[in-house]
Structure 1
Amino acid sequence: MPTAPTTVPAQRRHAPYENWRPPVVGVSLLVPVGADCITVVDLRGMLMLPVGGLHDGQTPEEAGYRVLADPSGGLRLLRRVAVDWVQTRRRKVITHVMAAAPMTREAVTGLVYRDPRATVRVIPTLQFLDQWPTGRARLLVSLQALATGATACFEDGVVRTQVPSDLAA
């Protein structure tokens, strides 16, 4: 008696959707206050570094000045200390971390965040690291890069020594 041919179900392959949508590019500001504090924004109980978007034709420095407005003109962005990029399922997310010159607590009180619901605060760096576990590595490496004069690069969570040429701009 003949047997029916057995069919093996085709295995589904999950192909990555690499860069089929334009990347999301943003800027994050690292504003030290003294030797042991940093500037953060408090958005309804959620503490984070000040962040904003980078629009076409804009440099990370120009975008950084849009994130925190300073009527007194005391905010001076020094340089980019880190680039963090992650390939998500549908697009690449790139964050440039810009470091500012150290400010005083009094000068930080005059800063205005781009989102009016948030307040700008100064907290000890170690306290912020305890409350922000998802960004701990980025902040620590950014602080180290600021201290050493280097530029760090995160590629999918791994620290690299060289910034890829397509992210260097």
Structure 2
Amino acid sequence: MSLLVPVGADALVVADLLGSIMMPTGTLQGGQTPQQAAQDVLRGAPDGLPLLRRVALAWVQTRRRKVITHVLATTDSMTREDAGHLIYRDPRADVRVLPTLRVVDGLPAKGRLRLLVGLQALATGETAYIEGDVVRPSAPPDLIPE
């Protein structure tokens, strides 16, 4: 799962891992929901992460398995002060608040697509579906979580 955490109207929370900027990410462990996993990715917010909703569901078929990424976004923008308390799950990474356009420019192509589609879905209240590098009108029935 990947997190999209807006700060104000023009910035995002990112993880800076040894100079590489990335969206905060994590894995679902043993029956966790994506929302539960998200709370493990970023800790330290005074009241926990604001409400989360899925803004995108991305999947790609590899040779051995289907890899599914839930992109969750906070429904309320965080303040810079609250974002300053966040701690990323990987102690080697620092949590930073960067301008949205700088984040877009700094991400690899797949991350950029998920970010841009996720931001659009957050703005419209929709859920986006991405298969490989293609945005689809809906997810296949076997991917739609209950």
> What TM-score comes out, normalization by structure 1 length?
0.81
Cα separation, 2, equivalents of 1:90 and 1:115: 27
SS at the partner of 2:47? coil
Aligned residue pairs, count: 143
- Note if 1:147 corresponds to 2:123: yes
Asked if 2 retains the 8 angstrom alpha-carbon contact of 1:28 and 1:49, the reply is: yes
Q: How does 1:8-157 map to 2 (within 5 A)?
A: 27-100=1-74, 101-134=76-109, 135-157=111-133
Deviation digits for residues 5-45 of structure 1 (CA, Å, limit 9, x no counterpart): xxxxxxxxxxxxxxxxxxxxxx1000001111100000000
Mark the structure with the bigger radius of gyration.
1
Query: Cα RMSD (Å) of the superposition?
Result: 1.2
Shift of 1:129: 0.9
Name structure 1 gaps, 5 residues minimum. 1-26
Shift of 1:164: 2.4
Between 1 and 2, higher relative CO (CA 8 Å, sep ≥ 6) is seen in 2
Shift of 1:138: 1.2
Task: Choose 83-92 or 139-148, whichever is displaced more.
Answer: 83-92
Shift of 1:116: 0.7
Shift of 1:162: 1.2
Shift of 1:155: 0.7
Deviation digits for residues 44-82 of structure 1 (CA, Å, limit 9, x no counterpart): 001000000012311110111111112511421330000
Task: Choose 148-157 or 72-81, whichever is displaced more.
Answer: 72-81
Moved over 4 A (4+): none
Q: 1:71 to 1:108 in 2, by over 3 A?
A: closer
